[in-house]
């Protein structure tokens, strides 16, 4: 595989699974055709870390935000002020990863909704896109997006084709990753086929969501071509074409 123009719109390179070889790995990316990557914070602490990585590597950009699964452990009550101030950094390009997680429900749903809405309002104040996590919470996510109309992406999209059309109608993007390669993936494949090309982003969610044939191992941006090949197959195009389009879309959305 000799691809280029790979833009990974969603990863977590501050994750401890990368602590032993992060620098070796990230230093190899240019050679692997990776031209851009958004590394996402999930709380105040690792949002700082995301920015530090972005300072170190020119092709890395940062998103800052409080993830629904991190709400209960967040120590800083003034996280909105912290994210507002971090967003002044030139390499912060989005508020994320934020959203709702009704699979684990680790914080009460009313709290998750409140934290999500206040961060969407912050993103709009700062004119930044949002990176949305939606796990088993499609209806509430869609209602909140319709209410606030932020710009941004629903990452690791797991909704139906109908929901995808609603999200696209709001002007937002659809992030697809390793899940499209899974054997039991029906909805993500249907979405991959139907999503308008100008609204498609490609992502890893590294270290998670590793595409087949490496499912179960650690994911990183060098494995994006497996996802691109699957999307290309169902859209009757080439993986390189998918990479070209998603690179262009990511740069447009994140203002790079
Ligand atoms: Ni993520």
CA distance 171 to 186: 24
CA distance 209 to 207: 7
Tell me the CA–centroid distance for residue 165 and ligand 1, in Å: 22
Residue 200 has pLDDT above 70, yes or no: yes
Q: State the average pLDDT for the chain.
A: 97
Give the mean pLDDT of 159-181.
Answer: 98
6 φ, ψ to 5°? Answer: -85, 120
DSSP code string of 198-217? GGEEE---BTSSPPTTSTTS
Tell me the CA–centroid distance for residue 40 and ligand 1, in Å: 7
Residue 118 has pLDDT above 80, yes or no: yes
Angle at 155 (CA atoms; ends 150, 159), nearest 5 degrees: 95
CA distance 191 to 195: 6
Residues 144-154: pLDDT tens digits? 999 999 999 99
Tell me the CA–centroid distance for residue 10 and ligand 1, in Å: 6
The structure's pTM equals 0.97
Residues 222-231: pLDDT tens digits? 999 999 999 9
Q: CA distances (Å), 253 to each of 24, 90, 168, in order?
A: 29, 15, 13
Q: Where are the alpha helices (DSSP H) in 6-150?
A: 22-27, 44-56, 79-86, 109-126, 138-148
Give the mean pLDDT of 73-87.
Answer: 96
Structure token pair of residue 187: 């909805």
Tell me the CA–centroid distance for residue 238 and ligand 1, in Å: 26
Position 103 confidence tier, pLDDT thresholds 50, 70, 90: very high
Residue 191 has pLDDT above 90, yes or no: yes
Tell me the CA–centroid distance for residue 205 and ligand 1, in Å: 5
pLDDT score, position 1: 65
Residue 247 has pLDDT above 90, yes or no: yes
Tell me the CA–centroid distance for residue 78 and ligand 1, in Å: 23
pLDDT score, position 204: 98
Structure token pair of residue 246: 């998603």
Return the DSSP state at 41.
P
pLDDT score, position 46: 97
Which are the contacts of 197, defined by CB distance < 8 A and separation ≥ 6? 235, 245
29 φ, ψ to 5°? Answer: -65, -40
Residues 18-41: pLDDT tens digits? 999 999 999 999 999 999 999 999
Using the Cα atoms of residue 125, residue 98, residue 211 and residue 208 in order, give the sign of their dihedral: positive
Q: Which helix (H) or strand (E) holds 161?
A: helix 161-169
Give the mean pLDDT of 196-215.
Answer: 97
Give the mean pLDDT of 86-112.
Answer: 98
Residue 117 has pLDDT above 70, yes or no: yes
Tell me the CA–centroid distance for residue 97 and ligand 1, in Å: 6
């Amino acid at each position: 595989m000799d691809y280029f123009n790979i833009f990974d719109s969603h990863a977590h390179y501050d994750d401890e699974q990368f602590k032993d070889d992060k620098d070796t790995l990230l230093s190899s990316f240019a050679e692997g055709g990776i031209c851009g990557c958004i590394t996402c914070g999930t709380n105040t602490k690792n949002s700082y870390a995301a920015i530090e990585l972005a300072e170190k590597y020119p092709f890395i950009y940062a998103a800052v935000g409080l993830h629904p699964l991190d709400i209960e452990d967040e120590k800083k009550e003034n996280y909105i002020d912290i994210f507002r101030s971090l967003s002044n950094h030139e390499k912060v390009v989005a508020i994320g990863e934020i959203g709702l997680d009704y699979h684990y429900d680790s914080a009460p749903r009313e709290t998750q909704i409140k934290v999500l809405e206040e961060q969407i309002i912050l993103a709009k104040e700062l004119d930044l896109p949002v990176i949305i996590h939606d796990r088993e919470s499609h209806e509430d996510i869609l209602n909140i997006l319709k209410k606030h109309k932020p710009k941004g992406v629903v990452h690791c999209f797991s909704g139906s084709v109908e929901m995808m059309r609603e999200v696209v109608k709001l002007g937002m993007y659809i992030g697809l990753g390793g899940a499209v390669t899974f054997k039991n993936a029906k909805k993500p494949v249907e979405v991959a086929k139907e999503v308008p090309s100008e609204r498609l982003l490609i992502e890893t969610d590294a270290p998670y969501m590793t595409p087949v044939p490496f499912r179960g191992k650690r994911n990183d941006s060098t494995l994006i071509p497996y996802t691109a090949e699957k999307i290309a197959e169902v859209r009757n195009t080439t993986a390189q074409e998918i990479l070209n389009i998603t690179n262009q879309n990511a740069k447009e959305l994140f203002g790079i």
